[in-house]
Structure 1
């Protein structure tokens, strides 16, 4: 993939993200009256990972990640944040999860160190929680998978480390 094609993919992804965000008439500041950061202004939770827009974004991300060099000499360990955000909303049979597991195998022993290792552990825990809802369809027979916050999961497990 050449630079121009990659830029077009990133631009398209940005436009799609913009379409899924809740539009408000006036922008809100990310700071409280006392000058501290307001987490509510910095966090946007999707209603459900099973929304068509969310599924589409995860698939586009997966397609772009396939063009990133993999393995011990690749860039996966530098993309921990990207994997965390995309993986936290991926569905059980998503191609993202398959790609992620392949990349883990290709990284080898390096997966046990740094942020990429933390993301691997965290995503597997988030997926375990989210996937437990798949076995429980709603009264209409459809499966609505709730968003399991990776931040809440870290807090609940008292995992107090930085993912960069």
Structure 2
């Protein structure tokens, strides 16, 4: 089996969206689409599954809330209770209103930071990683659709030219 892919380059996002829909309708597998800016609805047109990062963020927020509540209970109630302003620290529940801002801040802190780390790990974005952009023009004003080559090469090239591609190249990926 060959590792050839077709790079169809477009110069308009609306033409790209129509081409993605036509490519999916023709049952060709789209490997990746490179765009210089986010294109609204492209993920649905490509048939990508919805993201689960919101669920992860909620769980990370719960971890932050648990850490904040546990830490404040241990420090302010168990380990070193203090009488601040005539309000003794007998129980966590009695002092809950004073702890709410700290619990909120640690919930947001944990959710935000762990969500960013999860995104980087899931996207395989490591420090000092070389760029995987196949064509430098996609960072400026062009759009590139990478499609796996299965079947007749000439038929696919003419198919993508008919979808409005300004340039079609066959690339051997190794």
TM-score of the aligned structures, taking structure 1 as reference length? 0.20
Q: Which has the higher contact order (CA 8 A, sep 6+)?
A: 2
Give the number of the structure whose residues are more often helix, by fraction: 1
TM-score of the aligned structures, taking structure 2 as reference length? 0.19
Larger radius of gyration: 2
